[in-house]
Amino acid sequence: MSGRARVLRWAIPLAVVPVLVLLAYGFRTDPRVIPSPLVGKPASPFALTTFDGKPISLESLRGQVVVVNFWASWCIPACYDEAPSLERAWQTYRDRGVVLVGVNIQDKEEPARRFLDRFKHTFPNAPDPSGRVSVDYGVYGVPETFFIDRQGRVRFKQVGAVTDEIVKRHVETLLAEPA
């Protein structure tokens, strides 16, 4: 057997290796998990009017830890699962310099109000009828929750329902940082 033929005999099976590496990489990543480019960046300012008719803007909350939760009344079960945790977080942290803001997206007013009544949410909640805020935050589904530090930077993003533990972990981390 000539030297060239011997090389070919090895080269052909070895050519499979890069393909296997690529497949191994591809199958280990979840195509639905899309890292947000916003984490670490300044949070986009927003100015909305709550369901109670009060203005709320990110600018007015500067210096506080802000938790922005995007939700919809048709988002079953995730938004319903996390709703009690959000109200509990508000009750726990409102006196410690933490503000919760609910942003209702891709929804109608009536069912959204029913949702708020059902869970007796007392933190500010505002609709985003034009979808501008949700695009500014790169939201692609509900629920998504952003944790913003006192300097106004997005620090964590939770895709899917939050739990008491998740809220506590992120909020405590941001509260522990020097103001």
Partner 1 sequence: MSRALAAVLLLIVALGAGSPLAAAPVSEEVVNEVAAQLRCVVCQSLSVADSPSETAHQMKAIVRERLAAGESPEQVKAYFVEKYGLWILLAPPRQGFNLLVWVVPFVGLAAGLVLVVVLTRRWSRRAASAPVVARPDAAMRERILREMAEREP
Which stretches of the chain bind partner 1, using CB under 8 A? 34-38, 106, 130-132, 134-141
Q: Which is nearer to partner 1, 13 or 35 (CB)?
A: 35
- Helical H runs in the chain? 3-14, 16-28, 78-93, 109-119, 132-136, 164-176
Minimum CB separation of residue 58 from partner 1 in Å reads 15
The answer to whether 102 and 121 have CB atoms below 8 angstroms apart is yes
Minimum CB separation of residue 87 from partner 1 in Å reads 27
Minimum CB separation of residue 90 from partner 1 in Å reads 27
Minimum CB separation of residue 41 from partner 1 in Å reads 9
Minimum CB separation of residue 116 from partner 1 in Å reads 20
Q: Which is nearer to partner 1, 18 or 178 (CB)?
A: 18
DSSP letters, 94-143, are GGGTEEEEEEE-S--HHHHHHHHHHHT--S-EEE-TT-HHHHHTT--SS-
Cα torsion at 68, 70, 75, 80 (round to 10°)?
A: 10
Q: Which is nearer to partner 1, 92 or 106 (CB)?
A: 106
Q: What is the DSSP letter of 52?
A: T
Q: Which is nearer to partner 1, 97 or 138 (CB)?
A: 138
Strands 98-104 and 65-71, bridge-based pairing: parallel
Q: Which is nearer to partner 1, 14 or 176 (CB)?
A: 14
